[in-house]
Amino acid sequence: MRTIVLILSCLLAALAGAQPIVPSPPQVAADAYILMDARTGVVIAEDNADMPLPPASLTKLMTSYVLANEISEGRVSRDDTVVISENAWSQNPLFTGSSLMWIEPGMEVSIADLERGIVIASGNDATVAVAEHIAGSEGAFAALMNRHSEELGLTGTHFVNSHGLPHPDHLTTARDLATLSAAIIERFPEHYSRYSERDYTFNNIRQYNRNRLLNEDPSVDGLKTGYTREAGYGLVASAKRGDMRLVSVVMGTRSTTVRKNETRGLLNYGFRFYETVPLLAAGAELDKPRIWKGAEDYVAVGVSEEVVLTLPRGKRQALQQQVALEETILAPLAAGDVVGQLTLLLDGEVQRQIPVVALQPVEAGGFLARLWDMVLMWIARLFGA
């Protein structure tokens, strides 16, 4: 492999003693927590993030994800009307003392209303109505939830119902909830906008979003609260400041005030001491090496997708990039063919490794051109060039 080292920028010797200091994350009074950059997936802080715990109404993040996906795929419309069953009735004894949208048997309710009933009012009755409409039964819908969990790589999650009321096998992790939330934000922006709505009125009953940070921090625009006696108080939140979006998850706190304050502390820590750094645009050229036996003598190589990192604030200038290309690049070559690797380092530690690809196709050269290149390659090997 041929290695080309490109130093993005070097720190001046005079600044060597003024390196930015990143303090340890704040102590969080929760059974588990995580703070993640939604764009890069980089985890800034965590504790017990892979511990399976009861999610309570945080379950509804997956219920609403499945609904948003069905709408995106065209199998369900927000204009669809759902006839409410006895099972989804707000007076179902299963729902006693829990969050409700207050729907009644025989009532015809639009998917748009049920969507808000799930996201804003956290209605357990609304989740059952949606589950039955999409999959025919709650059991079938739970199986669908678990299939989506597998597709998203949620390795610590298993759903038994659509609402999150306690069941010994109904569990998830802080890491999985952060991954799920980032997927909602990225894939379904129209659906995600529902999470920032402060209140919702249905059946002449006005209910308020329980995510109190929506009222206290203008950068917060989602996502979901949860509570059962078994789970404690949980909150999955997302906030955007400038070009950086963070997702935080706290599970198993002792009160609504604690979950709010701990979430605020995590978000403030992440925004204060870290930044999301776009380094290279998709299609950015890194080098133009020799290509042999081709119709062209040189080929532009670079990255096929945008390269973005999460870094401690003030460390961007210390970042280095190394491009290692194949010793001999031969035609024919299609655009996107891998010809090497880009390694990004910070203080000697690898941050990311990204394939380097051909940015343009190169066809095989004619017979004489290929023959001449074979001679040149033989001479190069002979003299160790």
The catalytic site residues sit at 57, 60, 122
Residue 288 φ/ψ, nearest 5 degrees? -140, 80
Q: Which two tokens stand for residue 4?
A: 């080309």
Long-range CB pairs of 192-200 (<8 Å, 24+ gap) are 192/221, 192/222, 193/221, 194/64, 194/115, 194/116, 194/119, 194/120, 195/119, 195/221, 195/222, 195/223, 195/224, 195/238, 196/221, 196/222, 197/116, 197/119, 197/120, 199/120, 200/116, 200/117, 200/120, 200/121
Cis peptide, bond prior to residue 332, ω within 30 of zero:
yes
CA distance linking residue 239 with residue 44, whole number of Å: 14
| Residue 50 contacts residue 167 (beta carbons within 8 Å) | no
For residue 20, report the phi and psi dihedrals to the nearest 5 degrees: -65, 140
- Match 């940070």 to its residue by tokens: 213
Taking alpha carbons only, the member of 179, 240, 219 closest to residue 36 is: 179
